[in-house]
Each structure stands twice: as structure tokens, then as C-alpha cells.
């Protein structure tokens, strides 16, 4: 059964009368990201953190905007590079501001939120290249960011979970940097739409037509769908990857692929925790200001991040 607060937020969004995202152009769809963030926030005040800094970091296609969050209490125990969701086409630092505030306080880590390049203006692998560059920059600048060197994690939701898993693969293949954890929140990990959860829950926040729309904008050609960096489920060997926390939502088309990737990680000997939150949909973590399950997921993620730095 759908959580009543989750349902209320979805009803509020539906009442706005916007067309489905697959019937929109990318520019209009991006405006909707901030409307979504406002609905998730409701009238709850934003989480207070120690400090917030907007800056740019060097990237392969030019400067990458980033927002740096420091926790409210104590010295940072490490750094989390956070990669926002939005199907590689929409999403922004601002739209995920509250998630990053809460993750910083719950984990005690510096959180660096990355405004990577979006498709279709910048197709695969441009955004991923930005994310990997950001991870390298954070890893190389521990002193400037005031966290203990070597304590670096990567994480994100939906498309950001996809990018986080791909960054973990890249770091393994390219000899670093070493990552303490990959936080994969309902990740878009497979190009296949032939999953039972896709058929069962299409239309619960995201529809199968929306998923096709995102992939068509992101990929350069159909051949990219088989690239392990576009969809990490394609990777033949997952051994040697960093420990993972995979969080999925029961009533989410992406549920099954996230769970399948967690199974594959475990089979490859990667320490992996899989958490399914019942009665909630895609984007439930962004609903944390209003939704208890979102707050619980962020608390779980924060604890996992903190614990990974203590290993």
C-alpha cells in the first residue's frame, strides 16, 4: 500500500496539470525539477548545516559547478561526492539541496554536490566524465576541504546512482581513487525495461515512456546501451569494487534492477547491503522533509557513510 504522505505529494504534483515528462522538451522538464523539490520540501524549514559553499572545480569540458556542504557538528570524517538524479537530462544542485544537507549532517562528512553536464546537449559520457573528474578533485584536495585524506565515498539517486556505480567501475579500471563506499539510491543500472517492477509500477512517479525518453536523450546511439559505463549491469566482472549500500523503493519501476545489481555485487564478493523501503515510490528520499521513510533512508545512508570511513 502506498504511504499516505507519499501519495499526497504525488497528488499535489498531479494537480499542477503538467504533461508527462516524455511529452516535454528538456528545458521545460528542467523547470519541473525545482517544482518537484518545492513539493518535497513543503513548508518544512531547510536543514541547517555548518556551512555551504558554491564553487567551480576543473573538469574535462570546462569548469564544473559544485556545492560543498559541511556538517553542523564536529570536524568532517570524510567526503561524499553526491551525484543528483534526473535521468541525465534534468536535475540540479538546487533540486537536491535538502538531500545533501541531511546527508552531511547524518554522515558527518563533507558533501560535494556536482552539477555535471546534462543531455541531450552533452550526451554520454560527458556527464560521467565530469563526475569522475570531480571524484579525483575531491580525493586530491582533502586538506583544502578539511577532511581526513583517503576517506572518500561516492553516491547518488536514480541517474546519479547509475553515475556513482559507473564512477566506481572507472576508479577500479583506472587505478583510483580508492573509494570507501558506493551509495546507490534506486539506481538506473540497466538499459533493459523488461523487469517485472517496470511493468507493475510504471506510472508511479515515473513511467516506462519517461525511461525511454531519458535514455534516448542520454545515449549517443543504441550501441551505448551495452557499454558498462552507461549501464553498469553490463559489466562482466564486479570484483574489487568498493562496498555498496543499495537503497530501493518497493513501488518503483527501477526496484528490480537495483536489487539485481546488489545480488551481482554480493556474488562478486563485494560487501553489499540492500535495503528495500516498502510503500514508497521513486524519489522518496527527496521527500524526506515530509516523509518518514525518506528520513530513515538518509539516516541509514549517513550511518553507512560514517562506518565506511572507519574501516
Gap between the Cα atoms of 109 and 116, Å rounded: 21
Which residue of the set 84, 96, 217, 282 is catalytic?
Answer: 282
Strand partners, 65: 56
Which residue of the set 92, 107, 158, 164 is catalytic?
Answer: 158
Q: Report helix angle 97-107 to 26-41, nearest 10.
A: 50
Let me know if 158 is a catalytic residue: yes
C-alpha cell at 99: 538531500
Cα distances from 109 to residues 77, 119, 142, 160, 195, in angstroms, run: 5, 30, 12, 18, 35
Q: Where are the alpha helices (DSSP H) in the chain?
A: 4-15, 26-41, 97-107, 126-140, 142-145, 159-173, 196-201, 208-218, 255-267, 292-309
Gap between the Cα atoms of 284 and 287, Å rounded: 5
Edge-to-edge strand ranges of the sheet holding 182-185: 51-57, 64-70, 110-114, 79-83, 152-157, 182-185, 244-251, 272-281
Which residue of the set 129, 130, 252, 256 is catalytic?
Answer: 252
Element (H, E) at 114: strand 110-114
Q: Environment class of residue 267 by beta-carbon count within 10 Å: exposed (0-12), middle (13-18) or buried (19+)?
A: exposed
Place of cell 508527462: 20
Let me know if 252 is a catalytic residue: yes
C-alpha cell at 252: 518503483
Gap between the Cα atoms of 261 and 161, Å rounded: 11
Residue 189 CA from chain centroid, whole number: 11
Q: Which residues carry out catalysis?
A: 158, 252, 282
Amino acid at each position: 500500500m502506498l504511504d499516505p504522505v507519499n501519495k499526497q505529494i504525488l497528488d499535489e504534483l498531479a494537480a499542477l496539470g503538467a504533461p508527462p515528462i516524455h511529452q516535454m522538451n528538456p528545458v521545460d522538464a528542467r523547470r519541473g525539477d525545482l517544482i518537484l523539490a518545492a513539493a518535497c520540501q513543503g513548508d518544512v524549514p531547510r536543514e541547517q548545516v555548518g556551512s555551504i559553499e558554491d564553487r567551480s572545480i576543473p573538469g574535462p569540458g570546462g569548469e564544473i559547478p559544485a556545492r560543498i556542504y559541511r556538517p553542523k557538528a564536529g570536524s568532517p570524517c570524510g567526503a561524499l561526492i553526491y551525484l543528483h538524479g534526473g535521468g541525465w537530462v534534468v536535475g540540479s544542485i538546487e533540486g537536491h539541496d535538502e538531500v545533501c544537507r541531511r546527508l552531511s549532517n547524518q554522515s558527518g562528512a563533507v558533501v560535494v554536490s556536482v552539477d555535471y553536464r546534462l543531455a541531450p546537449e552533452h550526451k554520454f559520457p560527458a556527464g560521467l566524465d565530469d563526475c569522475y573528474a570531480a571524484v579525483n578533485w575531491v580525493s586530491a584536495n582533502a586538506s583544502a576541504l578539511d577532511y581526513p585524506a583517503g576517506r572518500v565515498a561516492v553516491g547518488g539517486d536514480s541517474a546519479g546512482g547509475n553515475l556513482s556505480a559507473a564512477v566506481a567501475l572507472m576508479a577500479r579500471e583506472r587505478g583510483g581513487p580508492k573509494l570507501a563506499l558506493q551509495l546507490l539510491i534506486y539506481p538506473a543500472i540497466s538499459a533493459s525495461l523488461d523487469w517485472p517492477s517496470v511493468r507493475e509500477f510504471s506510472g508511479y512517479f515515473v513511467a516506462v515512456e519517461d525511461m525511454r525518453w531519458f535514455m534516448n536523450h542520454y545515449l549517443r546511439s543504441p550501441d551505448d546501451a551495452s557499454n558498462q559505463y552507461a549501464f553498469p549491469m553490463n559489466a562482466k566482472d564486479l570484483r574489487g569494487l568498493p562496498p555498496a549500500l543499495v537503497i530501493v523503493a518497493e513501488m518503483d519501476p527501477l526496484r528490480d534492477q537495483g536489487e539485481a545489481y546488489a545480488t551481482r555485487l554480493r556474488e562478486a564478493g563485494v560487501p553489499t547491503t540492500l535495503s528495500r523501503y516498502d510503500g514508497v515510490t521513486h524519489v522518496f528520499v527527496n521527500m524526506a522533509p515530509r516523509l518518514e521513510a525518506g528520513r530513515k533512508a538518509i539516516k541509514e545512508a549517513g550511518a553507512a557513510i560514517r562506518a565506511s570511513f572507519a574501516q
